[in-house]
């Protein structure tokens, strides 16, 4: 089986070294970057299965780096930060992040998050066998091409993160069903719902609408059912 590659981006060399020792001990291949610009140069040469990204870095911070990464890569991004306010987490998800881990973190929690993100990404990229047959789904002006793992809007490819893709696919395949924030979170992130996860779901829905809706302020594809959740008709 191919070894998963992880890019570790942090301006603190001690933290980079600790994370590298921890992850290589779990069988992962790692590459280090001391700042956002270095990370972007590395990403132009190597494809990764996960990016661990510090937020507070000199020059280009983690949010800015994430926005640049999302222009060319859908690999999952795990933010690491000592900033733990909900607004910081919301900003991280808005910039394209998939998960957020507060410093100081336990080694076990880091490894668990890393493995979960990579597992989901490998399924998304087709590195594991999918149980359901792949198909092409047409929904309003969207076409979801499962064999190619891409979404088109009026014939133009829409750049989605793997989390956004899986969320959209779930809602469209279960048209007519209302998904609460709790159900969506547990289905997509494959972990128990927690306080604050509602904001995580809300940010990803907002990002999806911005990319696929003709008018994100008046959504017709992913509808909000007030007090209940979200639904595709």
Which residue bears the tokens 């829905």? 205
DSSP 3-state helix, strand, coil percentages of the chain (rounded to 5)?
40, 20, 40
Cis peptide before 104 (omega within 30 of 0): yes
24-51 per-position pLDDT tens digit: 888 889 999 999 999 999 999 999 999 9
All domains in the chain, ordered by first residue: 5-124 (3.40.50.2300), 136-231 (1.10.10.10)
Residue 131 has pLDDT above 60, yes or no: no
Q: How far apart are the first and last CA of the chain?
A: 40
Q: Per-residue pLDDT averaged across 118-133, rounded?
A: 66
Categorize the per-residue pLDDT at 128 as very low, low, confident or very high, splitting at 50, 70 and 90.
very low
- Residue 84: predicted pLDDT: 67
- Residue 81: predicted pLDDT: 84
- Per DSSP, the chain holds a count of helices (H) and strands (E) of 8, 11
Percent of the chain with pLDDT over 90: 47
């Amino acid at each position: 089986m191919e070894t998963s590659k992880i890019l570790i981006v942090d301006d603190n060399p001690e933290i980079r070294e600790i994370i590298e020792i921890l992850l290589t001990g779990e069988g992962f291949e790692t590459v280090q970057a001391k700042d956002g610009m270095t990370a972007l140069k590395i990403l132009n040469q190597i494809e990764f299965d996960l990016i661990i990204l510090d937020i507070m870095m000199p020059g280009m911070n983690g949010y800015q780096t994430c926005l640049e990464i999302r222009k060319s890569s859908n690999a999952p991004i795990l933010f690491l930060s000592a900033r733990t306010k909900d607004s910081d987490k919301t900003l991280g998800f808005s910039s394209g992040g998939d998960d957020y881990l507060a410093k100081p973190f336990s080694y076990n929690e880091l490894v668990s998050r890393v493995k979960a993100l990579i597992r989901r990404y490998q399924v998304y990229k087709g590195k594991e066998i999918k149980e359901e047959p792949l198909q092409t789904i047409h929904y309003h002006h969207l076409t979801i091409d499962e064999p190619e793992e891409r979404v088109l809007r009026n014939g133009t490819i829409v750049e989605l993160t793997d989390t956004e893709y899986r969320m959209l696919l779930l809602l469209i395949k279960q048209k007519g069903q209302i998904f609460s924030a709790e159900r969506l979170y547990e289905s997509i992130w494959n972990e128990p719902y927690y306080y604050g996860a509602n904001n995580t779901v809300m940010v990803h829905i907002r990002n999806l609408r911005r990319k696929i809706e003709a008018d994100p302020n008046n959504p017709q594809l992913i509808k909000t059912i007030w007090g209940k959740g979200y639904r595709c008709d």
